Structure 1
Amino acid sequence: MKICRFNHDRIGVVQGNAVHDITDLFDRTMSWPAEPGDAIIAQLGAVLESGIDIDVRPSLDLSTVVLESPVARPHKIMGAPVNYHAHIEEANADPEINAGKTFTTLEAYGLFLKANSSLIGPNEPFRVAFADRRTDHEIELVIVIGKTARHVPREKALDYVAGYTAGLDMTVRGKETPCYRKSPDGYCVLGPWLVTPDEIGDPDDLALSLKVNGDTKQEARTSLLILGVARLIEYASALYTLHPGDVIMTGTPAGVGPVEPGDVIDASVENIGSLRISILPALLDGKAA
């Protein structure tokens, strides 16, 4: 099932060209202090298990709605650096990417965190953070955690997945830590919706594709991941308690490159869908550069 967030925090099921509104099936009342994680994702499993009669739900044409990030409030956004061998090779060959470091394996560097404030959906504007610095595109399969997890063995890891979405781990190049360079506002793009595991098949065998202005820049399959989906969940949960709505970006394949204001990115993940963003110039003193 494809679950979307649309039109200012409405929740919907996408079928064909229709969005069926299921917002009223969720408890959206606020409590304080709030439980860690995304309250809607925490309820999603129970709502799906209870059954949804799509035919009686109000619907809208998909072309008329504004899609938002399928996760509104992740407790944390985790990234997996250098998780494709070909990307390690290109990173080590490009001094603007490696900034003087030599990359070996993901486990040598660990995961990084992106600021939650970097999160946007596919219909929100993306601005480069600095007019005078390189910003790169990075297409990734994204895991969304469905229930609290800690020290999860890989053979049980997929039981903790709410679904998958497509993501852009936009990145400023430089010598600062990844947590800084990957966390400007808008540098985590998720969408177009969350797809439940039953519609995905094997998450470790999905095609990824990214085009800039119609030219293919990245194309690979998740079968090339060094640490696959289950292993990444095991790896992350060994250090962090994972909460509903937590996001794990699985890493980008080779082909990363710079984008400039005016460029258009089209990104897609097999069995999930596509998203498009337009690159806007940086702001200087509150005005476009």
Structure 2
Amino acid sequence: MKENLFGSLPSRPVLIRYESERGARTGLLLDDRVYDLAETSGEARYVDMAMVLTDWPAFSGWIKKFNPITHNPTVLVGQVKLLAPLANSGSLYCAGANYSDHEAEMAAAQGNASVNQKGARSWHFLKSSHSMTGTGSTVRVPAASSALDWEVELAAVIGVKGKDLAIETALDHVAAYTIAIDFSARDLSRRQDVPERSPFRMDWLSHKSFDGACPIGPWLVPADNVPDPQNLDLSLSVNGDTKQRSNTSHMIFSLAEQIRDISERITLWPGDIILTGTPAGVGSSRGEFLRAADIVSAKVAGLGEVRVLIA
């Protein structure tokens, strides 16, 4: 990996979306060079990342053989604005309470000895794909919230349709990995004008799916370049102060188990994204929340960095 103004740039090809004079384009990024994917591959439909993922089994073979010597770069990465690598993709499945250190943190915050009621399978909630935004974006605190929280997560992007998948083959359905920040408006999760015991008390839409609630990126790293998704360091900082630092080995349910569990209930499709949970260090555990002008940075080893400004 090389260092430049974007942080670490990839020495092996990754997939990006970027802003151009022709609008949003899909590209292949290698070192500091961007290759327009539709032009380089000769497949006009690859201007849309969704089509790349739909064709993933064939496309993954092409990207493995990519030789920069035989192609001219379209532009240097420092000359473009990176967008979220997927736009309005399929479903965003978000794992809840899926790190052992986060489980212990929540138990302590709630005054319990242990949560220890995780059930036999992982559980997920849905986040709107329209809430995604890219690195370098400005995320506005929802008008009614004063408790915006952060969560760094490893995200897996599905590239092969699957239903009722076995653990042994689950990861074969992953096209790529990326970084996600699951922002949460904690004080909007419960409707204050509704009685506490009412079934209408909870408000997950306001809590988790406001505009900008899911920064993602900076690019998609093909799964072949991530030998073990269960051994990746991840961290999140606010204004340079590290708030979360852990490793994906501390997941309660592995990614393969999550894919199995989701696919038992609903078919997974190319373009679906699984956010695999967050470790300890969230703001609500310490009574800290984000404010305007804060800079949030999330990193996962080998996947780059996502950085956003809070407004």
Query: What is the TM-score normalised by the length of structure 2?
Result: 0.80
- Structure having the higher Rg: 2
Q: Find the partner of 1:43 among 49, 55, 62.
A: 55
The 5-angstrom pairing of residues 80-95 of structure 1 reads 80-94=95-109
**Residue 189 of structure 1: CA displacement?**
0.9
Structure 2 match to 1:255: 281
In the other structure, the counterpart of 1:127 is 140
Q: Give the equivalent residue in structure 2 for 1:286.
A: none
CA pair 266-15 structure 1, distance change in 2 beyond 3 A: same
SS in 1 for 2:172: helix
Structure 2 partner of 1:189: 215
Structure 2 distance, partners of 1:29, 1:68, is 16
RMSD: 2.3
The one-character-per-residue Cα deviations of 1:167-221 (angstroms, maximum 9, x if unpaired) are 0011111333445411111101110000011211200000001110010000000
- Answer whether contact 2:153 2:182 (CA < 8 A) is retained: yes
2:260 corresponds, among 193, 216, 234, to 234
1:125-164 deviations in Å (ceiling 9; x for gaps): 2111135431101000000000111111010011101100
Conserved in 1, the CA contact under 8 Å of 2:176 and 2:220? yes
Find the counterpart in structure 1 of residue 86 from structure 2. 71
AA partner of residue 123 (structure 1): G
Other structure's SS at 1:38 match: helix
**Partner Cα separation in structure 1 for residue 87 and residue 149 of structure 2:** 24
Give the match's secondary structure for 2:55: helix
How many angstroms apart in 2 are the aligned matches of 1:273 and 1:130?
31
Aligned residues: 269
Question: 2:214 is matched by which residue type in structure 1?
Answer: C
Call closer, same or farther: CA 1:109–1:144 in 2, change over 3 Å.
Answer: closer
2:124 paired residue number: 111
Displacement of 1:44 after TM fit? 3.7
Tell me which residue corresponds to 1:170: 183
Moved more, 108-117 or 151-160: 108-117
Aligned to 1:283: none
Letter in 1 for 2:45: R
Q: Which ranges of structure 2 fall in alignment gaps of 5 or more residues?
A: 1-12, 191-201, 284-288
Give the letter aligned to residue 9 of structure 1: A
Cα distance change, pair 88–160 in 1 and its aligned pair in 2 (3 A): same
Aligned residues of 2:33 and 2:73 also touching (Cα < 8 A): no
Aligned match for 1:138, one of 146, 151, 155: 151
Which runs of 5 or more residues in structure 1 are unaligned?
Answer: 31-36, 281-289
Which amino acid counterpart does residue 242 of structure 2 have in structure 1? T
Are residue 154 (structure 1) and residue 167 (structure 2) matched? Answer: yes
Identical columns (%): 35
Give the deviation of 1:255 after TM superposition.
0.2
Match of 2:45 in 1: 28
Q: What residue is the counterpart of 2:249 in the other structure?
A: 223
Deviations 1:14-59 (A, max 9, x none): 21122222123344399xxxxxx93232124323323433331433
Q: 1:86 to 1:249 in 2, by over 3 A?
A: same
Runs (4 or more) in structure 1 with deviation over 4 Å come to 106-109
TM-score if structure 1 supplies the norm length?
A: 0.86
In 2, Cα distance between the equivalents of 1:76 and 1:168?
Answer: 16
Corresponding residue number in structure 2 for 1:33 = none
